[in-house]
């Protein structure tokens, strides 16, 4: 026997598709069978499995577990919960060798997918392609593993609360915070968490509903923060925190309703952490503001610009021993007193403790940041066969000039006006552009340089592509 996947579902960082069209129970069963076989070949035998609140998730979980046990792996089923709860189950249990979370993340309700951990490291890129190859070839081990259920929610919440250690409780007790779970999988953990946190907490949409009836669960799109902004304004709260559909990405606003973007959150976390970890390497992706890299250096840290993608960032953290990393997309990774995975609930607690330790409100910390002028992330459709080639063409043209080019991930060019970025998405047929300056005129010139390079490759910034 063997199984071939729709080629669109085997993505760079995870497996994801449309239920009933490109993804179904047979795919889930084959993922379990193949992942389990690969794990057994590597000497592992036990897998933690969790799922998000999408209506298709229980069906996929059932089939996935069938596949895993048929490969001879034992399964620890942790049930409905946020992706970081599954990561916690995998990282904290010494007998678990791998983990799989069924989640469509921030995609529309008819999508679903799988995020995987293999012997403590992200399972992505070449791993996912190998899973597809082995499944198509039917290279599966046989066995009769067993499945057991284990409730880890309470111990996961207790573990997050350890972040409060060493912080003056009186500085936390006066905080008033709004939280928006967006009807995503983080809701149950959030309810338990805030019940034990100091301060006053106001919650939105903690009921898990895979139809997302109130707003789309992507906190990096400002319009999805409208209800949280209203809550913070109506109740005069100190700040607000929002989550994506599976709780691994954070969004935040300050007491004035201003968005605190991913790189700005990392500025706060880095300033706090570097007080006790001078010289530590802090990683951010190529889309992050130059203000972040400057701030890390000013606080005594070593800023490192790296490729976009949560799996790539996690791998680089392990390689460098970095205690903190983050992305513009709201993935934040703590490895100082935590496990190094992206956990938006834990990041929410750490925003509280950072504010307390630094002795400034979140609103003040946001106000203290340089007022950079930048574009949002501009995404536009480019044929799959052209996207990487176009970036190489831009690199080649710039190599004949005296431009200051960083080629870590695409092309990031520093000029007297600021910087501009052009990179190919690893997960979609789009190019991503961004630019930042300290003047409006400078930003216009930077955008002009992007358009100039695109035109030289026969492209233009056409209709914006969806995430």
- Backbone CA torsion sign across 194, 195, 196, 201: positive
What's CA 303's distance to the chain center, in Å?
19
Looking at residue 462, what is its pLDDT? 67
Rounded Cα distance between 245 and 103, Å, is: 8
What is the value of pTM for the model shown? 0.95
Domain 156-367 has CATH 3.40.120.10: yes
Looking at residue 461, what is its pLDDT? 82
Looking at residue 166, what is its pLDDT? 87
Q: Name residues whose C-beta falls within 8 Å of residue 126's C-beta, 6 or more positions apart in sequence.
A: none
Looking at residue 13, what is its pLDDT? 87
Full pLDDT tens readout for the chain, 467 residues: 899 999 899 998 899 999 999 999 999 999 999 999 999 999 999 999 999 999 999 999 999 999 999 999 999 999 999 999 999 999 999 999 999 999 998 888 999 999 999 999 999 999 999 999 999 999 999 999 999 999 999 999 999 999 999 899 999 999 999 999 999 999 999 999 999 999 999 999 999 999 999 999 999 999 999 999 999 999 999 999 999 999 999 999 999 999 999 999 999 999 999 999 999 999 999 999 999 999 999 999 999 999 999 899 999 999 999 999 999 999 999 999 999 999 999 999 999 999 999 999 999 999 999 999 999 889 888 988 899 999 999 999 999 899 999 999 999 999 999 999 999 988 788 999 999 999 999 999 999 999 999 999 999 886 665 54
Q: Which CATH number fits domain 15-150: 3.30.70.100, 1.10.600.10, 3.40.120.10, 3.10.20.30?
A: 3.40.120.10
Domain 373-456 has CATH 3.30.310.50: yes
Q: Specify whether the CB–CB gap between 107 and 15 falls below 8 A.
A: no
Looking at residue 464, what is its pLDDT? 60
Q: Indicate the SS3 state at residue 437.
A: strand
Q: Indicate the SS3 state at residue 48.
A: strand
Q: Where are the alpha helices (DSSP H) in 113-174?
A: 126-137, 153-161, 169-173
Looking at residue 353, what is its pLDDT? 98
Q: Do domains 15-150 and 156-367 have the same CATH topology?
A: yes
Which residues are the active-site residues? 105
Of the candidates 330, 281, 279, 336, the one whose C-alpha atom is nearest the C-alpha of residue 303 is 281
Domain parsing of the chain, residue ranges: 15-150, 156-367, 373-456
Q: Specify whether the CB–CB gap between 175 and 208 falls below 8 A.
A: no
């Amino acid at each position: 026997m063997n199984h071939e996947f729709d080629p669109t579902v085997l993505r760079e960082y995870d497996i994801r598709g449309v239920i009933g069209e490109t993804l179904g129970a047979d795919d889930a069963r084959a993922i379990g069978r193949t992942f389990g076989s690969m794990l057994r070949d590597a000497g592992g035998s036990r897998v933690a499995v969790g799922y998000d609140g999408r209506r298709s998730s229980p069906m996929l979980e059932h089939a996935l577990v069938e596949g895993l046990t048929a490969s001879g792996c034992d399964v620890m089923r942790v049930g409905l919960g946020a992706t970081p709860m599954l990561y916690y189950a995998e990282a904290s249990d010494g007998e678990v060798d791998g983990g799989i979370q069924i989640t469509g993340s921030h995609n529309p309700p008819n999508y679903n997918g799988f995020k995987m951990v293999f012997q403590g490291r992200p399972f992505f890129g070449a791993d996912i392609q190998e899973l597809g190859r082995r499944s198509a070839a039917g290279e599966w081990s046989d066995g009769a593993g067993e499945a057991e259920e284990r409730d880890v929610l309470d111990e996961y919440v207790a573990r997050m609360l350890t972040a409060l250690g060493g912080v003056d409780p009186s500085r936390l007790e006066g905080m008033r915070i709004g939280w928006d779970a967006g009807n995503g999988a983080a809701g149950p953990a959030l309810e338990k968490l805030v019940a034990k946190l100091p301060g006053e907490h106001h919650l939105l949409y903690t009921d898990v509903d895979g139809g997302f009836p109130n707003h789309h669960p992507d906190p990096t799109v400002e319009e999805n923060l409208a209800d949280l902004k209203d809550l913070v304004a109506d109740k005069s709260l100190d700040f607000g925190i929002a989550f994506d559909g599976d709780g691994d990405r954070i969004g935040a606003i300050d007491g004035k309703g201003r968005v605190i973007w991913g790189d700005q959150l990392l500025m706060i976390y880095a300033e706090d952490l570097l007080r006790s970890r001078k010289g530590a390497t802090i990683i951010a992706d190529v889309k992050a503001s130059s203000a972040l890299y400057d701030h890390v250096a000013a606080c005594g840290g070593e800023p490192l610009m790296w490729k976009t993608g949560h799996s790539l960032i996690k791998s680089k953290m392990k390689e460098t021993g970095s205690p903190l990393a983050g992305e513009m997309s709201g993935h934040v990774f703590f490895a100082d007193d935590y496990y190094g995975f992206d956990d938006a609930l834990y990041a929410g607690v750490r925003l509280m403790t950072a504010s307390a330790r630094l002795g400034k409100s979140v609103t003040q910390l946001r106000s203290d940041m340089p007022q950079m002028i930048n574009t949002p992330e501009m995404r536009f459709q480019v044929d799959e066969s052209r996207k990487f080639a176009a970036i190489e063409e831009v690199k080649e043209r710039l190599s004949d000039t005296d431009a200051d080019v960083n080629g870590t991930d695409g092309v990031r060019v520093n000029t007297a006006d600021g910087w501009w970025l052009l990179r190919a998405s690893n997960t979609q047929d789009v190019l991503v552009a961004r630019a930042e300056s300290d003047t409006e005129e400078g930003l216009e010139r930077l955008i002009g340089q992007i358009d100039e390079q695109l035109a030289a490759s026969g492209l233009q910034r056409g209709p914006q592509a969806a995430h």
